[in-house]
Structure 1
Amino acid sequence: MGKKKASSHKFLALAAAAAIAVPAVSPAAVSAKEHSFKDVPARYTEAVAYLTNNGITKGLSPSQFGTNVSISRVDAAIQLAAALGIDPQGTYKNAGFKDVPKRGQWAVNALAEKGIISGKAAGLFGAYDAITRNETARLISLAYKLTIDETVKKTPFTDVNAQWAKYVDALVKSGVTEGKTSSRFGADDHLQRGEWALFLYRLAHPAAKELDLTIMHTNDTHAHIENAARKVTAIKEVRKAKPNNVLLDAGDVFSGTLYFNEYLGQADLNFMNLVGYDAMTFGNHEFDLGTKPLANFIAKAKFPFVSANVNFTSDENIKGLVTGGIAAAPKDGSVYDAIIKEVDGEKVGIFGLTTAETVDISSPGAGVMFEDYLEKSKKTVASLEKQGVNKIIALTHIGFKDGGGDNDVTLAKEVEGIDIIVGGHSHDLLKEPVLDTTGKEPTVIVQANEYNKYLGTLDVKFDKNGKVIGHAGKLIEIDAKGEDGTYILEDDPEAAEILATEYKPAIDAKKKTVVGKTAVALNGERADVRTKETNLGNLITDGMLEKAKTINKEAVIAVQNGGGIRASINEGDITLDEVLTVMPFGNALAIMNLTGAEIRAALENSVKEVPGQFGGFLQVSGLKFTYDSSKPVGERVKTVEVKKENGYVPLVDTESYVVATNTFTAKGGDGYSTFGKAYEEGRVSEPGFVDWEMFRDYIQANPNAAPELENRITDINQP
């Protein structure tokens, strides 16, 4: 569908909020929307329209804006506070001025509290005095945080003394004004309403320029912090080389290793705070334990969160941390729909999305609602564009081509105005950025795989209208080693010390924890799991299928590649360390919709190497099949049966079946092209539960397990 991009007349607003409400200038004041002003010359037309259309001020009468009328200090304060997005209903410290009328008290108090404005004497603001151009220069410089050179004592203007020079200098260099003449600023002249409108308009619409931006990004790290010290080094090196940068995380910090089990995300957060993330969105696994651990995570973060489609209004744990809307000055530990980040003087909008699958694959609770991601994206992009932001990043946890109902590819095609999608959830290893050219302007999609294996980097060049005109992406491998076998990236000393002293000792001890017991030895020998049915393969796939059924009750089959099973387990107690040794890769659950014919083709791929070993040999649950290893490859599978409520029934090629596996296999790993095709066609959902955790939970729920060989896989060519 067609997409709509911000017009070239929209630049980067310095205003700090999306919605602005301001009291009327006077009881008779009338907005520009309702009447035409007869005293607004062409020079001021756009500026007056900007102020009136955004509710910053109104005309003095239906036909008079008051362009040449001096503006009072209190009215300047009201309009400035509105332009900055300060809430008129907010609570602010009383500045103690006795002469400020009620309609302006909120603005004066708020600006005074921020150190932007001051009075003329103790208790006296000078509310009805006309504001001078000198005073205006100081007010604007402080309010908009212009670069103030404290060494400036003199300007080209002969009427500006040393007291005001640095503020006038900042105002001129920002492009707001050039002075009344080359030698006269009009320092003590009263500021007129038309001039004030022009100043505020220019501050909200600075001259556009090209921008080179580097985005560092991570996703689905899942508590893999053993290499945190090297990751910190990588981030610092990129920042040193590319000063125009942002650092973003696309969710699923929670769940996956013992570090999460022990610290509930706080260990990960310590390193994220240390390195200074700019924003994060929520993954589905952030809700695995309800919202209380997530609330603690948010509250202690030294960065903001963006989430446009997750509604926390009814959640008791998180709703107090949600500010919502769009923030140009976001607070740490707060949740917004979007934030505006200033980079090299340009504004970059960042908004967040989380997969609606979270309701089914995690535990957000009844108080958390997930709204339509396309609808919310369109509204958020429109709000950012309304504020003049034309460089927009969607920070998403919906999957690249995930079949769960929402994904990045669809987002890029359906919503115009998004320049970059930094994604997560599907654990995709996008070695090169993917460019979508469906709409009027391109959208770049990136994702950095999983488990802190990579730091994603994307270099983007924007033209002055916010269009991507160049890009290059690279994944920095955190654990890459040189020829001598040592890590290329050195440990950051501070991060390494934190890991070694604060977190690792407890994890090493936890690995010794007994999580279950087996009454028989569990066979995970390499030569066996890659060539035939084993009791450990049966136990693992049974656990996978049971978990899949809690997500999709139609799931009937589970398959596990033998290459993902790395060791056996002796009879007796099972420790966490043994579980992690058996399944060290942390592969995540995927649920596929396949035809019987596709399953049959996959089984042919599974047995193609027998009697030789093959890492893609499938251990199975909910399935029995026979094959003949003496037959040509592709013609070996003889019979296939699926377990239903009343026993095993023949597989029907034309019927559809719900099959659980891991994401590696689901995306076509080990030559499973039928699975890969299903993934490309959006028939694969990725709830993301980690293999070793599913296995641990299953053996805990089934004490003294004694799995046997059940003739699930039979080579009729073998005795």
Structure 2
Amino acid sequence: MKTILTSLLAILFATLFAGCNVPALPTVSPPPPAATEAPAETPAHTVTLTILYTDDEHGWMEGQSEGAGAANLLGLWQKQFGYDPADPRFLVLSGGDNWTGPAISTWFKGESMVEVMNAMGYDASAVGNHEFDFGLENMQYTISLADFPYLAANMRNKSDGQISESLGVQPYAIIDAGGLKVGVIGLANIHTPKVTNPANVQDFDFEPYVETLQQTAPEVRAAGADVVMVISHLCNQELRHTTAKTKDLGIVLFGGGHCHESLAEKAGDAVLITGGPYLQTFAWAQLAIDPESGAVVSAKYDVEANRGGPADPDVAAIVAKWRQETDATLGEPIGYLAQTLPERSEPMLKLVTETWLLGYPNADVAITNSGGVRDDLRAGPITIADIISVMPFDNVLIDMKMTGAQIEAFMDAQGKKVFAGGVHQQGGHWELNRTGEPLQADAVYHVLVNDYMYAGGGSYQKLAEYDPEGYDTGIDWRQPVIDWIIARKSTPEQPLDEAIRALGK
């Protein structure tokens, strides 16, 4: 039986993480891994822990392809490793960014994904930047639904330098695993204010990784941990750097995330793993640990595809329940597309920005960040759920004023990170679509941007500097897209494709 003790509110959480009384299944040995380290001599008694690691799940409980969803992943773990959530020799960990993605998770602000992760037996998750997407009140509520802690030792209140207990975030957890007390420290990404809406994290500092671990690892050991691990929302390069700078702390495993990469390697005495995004792949490590010293005497680790796993019926039923609720709420067709619009393609970005201008005709130009568009718009019937999957963030439109010179300077500096509607490049300058005339350097134009950009997310601080008094229209950034699609009354015989190609002309 696994139990979890967090560093704060330990008594309160003791029953929450008490585990269940289902007997452990027999352990099935995994196939020979790609990476293995064997000692010259193994102590007679060791404890082998199996760590199953995912990150950047982004709500893809159904999977991006057939047979690659959460239920299949759990079935694969059961088939390959003999995984049982009640078996204390397993740890299931996440590097964060659990929620924001397709409508089945985004519309319910992560509640559905947390229920899936509870059923899969997750033991802890790092706090990712997208955990903040739906605001702090929702973050607090969704964390309260989890049967596992959300960890970020380097996320501190600006007011007092403490971890935000009220939000439900903890610096670390101590988990009883296979007779060992495993201390798991969480790290949020220090760039979080740039990759979520800065307004949602304005009250927090995100402290440097190395200094945080130098402070926290001794605390975890003093609290009784035999073994220390780190889960984080760090890209592989950051993870390697942090590992190299903390060799003296005896941390046996570092898990990463954020950059949608995968990783399985050894750095000194530590194993580094990153699972990859959308539950398409996962990382695992098996560590044989000397319980007397807490030293890892042998390690196996790898990254594998979520392929070939039989769907776990309990998780499949949870996913089916949320699919039914999504379809009941958002499944009514509003249009029809003959050909798929690829994520972040020019036609897709034109659909977004040009419909903003049609829905808010006071504006001359519309600019969006390409990274805010997160999915293809697939051929066939289009539903509101599809639009939410493409535009998963809860943004509103800001009407701000910029000169022609500022628009040109901003677009040229940002390159492909942004896309503009209402204007086009002609030679070495930008022209206004509706007049065909070049932007006038000193003329003032009304420009629509989303509030994430206006708040300085993604290093777009220049926008608020150009116009500190931007007008919050209160218009959900998806609404003009939805309204335009509905107004077209498209059918399989008369799909939207041609109308999309004509936007901005």
TM-score (norm 2): 0.59
- Whether the 8 Å CA contact 1:251–1:280 is kept in 2: the answer is yes
- Whether the 8 Å CA contact 1:233–1:492 is kept in 2: the answer is yes
How big is the shift at 1:248?
0.9
Describe the shift of the 1:697–1:276 C-alpha distance in structure 2 as closer, same or farther (beyond 3 A).
Answer: same
Any idea what the Cα deviations from partners look like across 1:593-649, whole Å, max 9, x if unmatched?
xxx9998xx9xxxxxxxxxxxxxxx997589789xxxxxxxxxxxxx7475999589
* Partners of 2:208 and 2:120 in 1: CA distance: 33
Describe the shift of the 1:513–1:336 C-alpha distance in structure 2 as closer, same or farther (beyond 3 A).
Answer: same
* Partners of 2:368 and 2:7 in 1: CA distance: 50
Choose which of 492, 500, 504 in structure 1 pairs with 2:323: 504
Note if 1:219 corresponds to 2:55.
Answer: yes
Note if 1:475 corresponds to 2:314.
Answer: no
Choose which of 389, 392, 396 in structure 1 pairs with 2:228: 392
Note if 1:409 corresponds to 2:245.
Answer: no
* Partners of 2:6 and 2:134 in 1: CA distance: 33
Choose which of 276, 287, 290 in structure 2 pairs with 1:449: 276
How big is the shift at 1:699?
6.0
Select the structure that is richer in strand. 2
- Whether the 8 Å CA contact 2:180–2:226 is kept in 1: the answer is no
* Partners of 1:510 and 1:523 in 2: CA distance: 24
Any idea what the Cα deviations from partners look like across 1:190-240, whole Å, max 9, x if unmatched?
xxxxxxxxxxxxxxxxx9964432111121111122233223323434344
Note if 1:423 corresponds to 2:265.
Answer: no
Describe the shift of the 1:491–1:358 C-alpha distance in structure 2 as closer, same or farther (beyond 3 A).
Answer: same
Query: Where do residues 225-240 of structure 1 align in structure 2 (5 Å cutoff)?
Result: 225-226=61-62, 227-237=69-79, 238-240=81-83
- Whether the 8 Å CA contact 2:49–2:287 is kept in 1: the answer is yes
How big is the shift at 1:703?
5.3
- Whether the 8 Å CA contact 2:131–2:139 is kept in 1: the answer is yes
Describe the shift of the 1:523–1:697 C-alpha distance in structure 2 as closer, same or farther (beyond 3 A).
Answer: farther
* Partners of 1:647 and 1:434 in 2: CA distance: 54
Note if 1:697 corresponds to 2:477.
Answer: yes
Query: Where do residues 563-578 of structure 1 align in structure 2 (5 Å cutoff)?
Result: 567=378, 575-576=383-384
- Whether the 8 Å CA contact 2:109–2:134 is kept in 1: the answer is no
* Partners of 1:534 and 1:320 in 2: CA distance: 42
- Whether the 8 Å CA contact 1:535–1:709 is kept in 2: the answer is no
How big is the shift at 1:268?
1.7
Give the secondary structure class of the aligned counterpart of 1:256.
Answer: coil
How big is the shift at 1:686?
11
Structure number with bigger Rg: 1
Query: Where do residues 557-568 of structure 1 align in structure 2 (5 Å cutoff)?
Result: 567=378
- Whether the 8 Å CA contact 1:217–1:422 is kept in 2: the answer is yes
Aligned to 2:362: none
Aligned to 1:494: 314
Give the secondary structure class of the aligned counterpart of 2:127.
Answer: coil
Describe the shift of the 1:505–1:471 C-alpha distance in structure 2 as closer, same or farther (beyond 3 A).
Answer: same
Choose which of 331, 350, 353 in structure 2 pairs with 1:539: 350
Query: Where do residues 16-35 of structure 1 align in structure 2 (5 Å cutoff)?
Result: none
Amino acid paired to 2:73 = K
Amino acid paired to 1:297 = T
* Partners of 2:241 and 2:159 in 1: CA distance: 29
Return 337-346 or 287-296, whichever deviates more: 337-346
Query: Where do residues 452-463 of structure 1 align in structure 2 (5 Å cutoff)?
Result: 452-462=279-289
Describe the shift of the 1:233–1:396 C-alpha distance in structure 2 as closer, same or farther (beyond 3 A).
Answer: same
Aligned to 1:308: 153
Describe the shift of the 1:513–1:378 C-alpha distance in structure 2 as closer, same or farther (beyond 3 A).
Answer: farther
* Partners of 1:378 and 1:394 in 2: CA distance: 12
Any idea what the Cα deviations from partners look like across 1:419-475, whole Å, max 9, x if unmatched?
211112112133xx13334xxxx3322111112223421122345644445433233
How big is the shift at 1:245?
1.8
How big is the shift at 1:538?
4.8
* Partners of 2:288 and 2:279 in 1: CA distance: 26
- Whether the 8 Å CA contact 1:235–1:275 is kept in 2: the answer is no
- Whether the 8 Å CA contact 1:447–1:456 is kept in 2: the answer is yes
Amino acid paired to 1:697 = W
Any idea what the Cα deviations from partners look like across 1:384-429, whole Å, max 9, x if unmatched?
344564632111013223xxxxx32321122232321111211213
Which blocks of at least 5 consecutive residues in structure 1 are unaligned? 1-15, 20-84, 91-113, 115-206, 323-333, 402-406, 481-487, 547-554, 587-595, 603-617, 627-639, 650-684, 688-695, 713-719
- Whether the 8 Å CA contact 2:152–2:172 is kept in 1: the answer is yes
How big is the shift at 1:250?
1.6
Note if 1:263 corresponds to 2:108.
Answer: yes
Amino acid paired to 1:396 = S
* Partners of 2:328 and 2:220 in 1: CA distance: 49
Give the secondary structure class of the aligned counterpart of 1:263.
Answer: coil
Describe the shift of the 1:702–1:491 C-alpha distance in structure 2 as closer, same or farther (beyond 3 A).
Answer: closer
Which one has more relative contact order, counting CA pairs under 8 Å at least 6 apart? 2
How big is the shift at 1:275?
2.8
Amino acid paired to 2:243 = A
Aligned to 2:33: none
Aligned to 1:49: none
How big is the shift at 1:525?
6.5
Any idea what the Cα deviations from partners look like across 1:665-718, whole Å, max 9, x if unmatched?
xxxxxxxxxxxxxxxxxxxx799xxxxxxxx93563795487666999xxxxxx
Aligned to 1:716: none
Amino acid paired to 2:172 = A
How big is the shift at 1:380?
0.7
Describe the shift of the 1:287–1:489 C-alpha distance in structure 2 as closer, same or farther (beyond 3 A).
Answer: same
Aligned to 2:124: 279
- Whether the 8 Å CA contact 1:538–1:707 is kept in 2: the answer is no
Aligned to 2:180: 346
Aligned to 2:28: none
Aligned to 1:436: 267
RMSD across aligned positions (CA): 5.3
How many residue pairs align between the two structures?
382
Note if 1:292 corresponds to 2:72.
Answer: no
* Partners of 1:511 and 1:578 in 2: CA distance: 9
Amino acid paired to 2:118 = N
- Whether the 8 Å CA contact 1:462–1:468 is kept in 2: the answer is yes
Describe the shift of the 1:686–1:231 C-alpha distance in structure 2 as closer, same or farther (beyond 3 A).
Answer: farther
* Partners of 2:61 and 2:279 in 1: CA distance: 7
Any idea what the Cα deviations from partners look like across 1:512-547, whole Å, max 9, x if unmatched?
3578x9xxx989568xx89xx99724515858x99x
Choose which of 379, 383, 398 in structure 1 pairs with 2:219: 383
* Partners of 1:414 and 1:352 in 2: CA distance: 17
* Partners of 1:541 and 1:231 in 2: CA distance: 34
Note if 1:249 corresponds to 2:94.
Answer: yes
- Whether the 8 Å CA contact 2:93–2:125 is kept in 1: the answer is yes
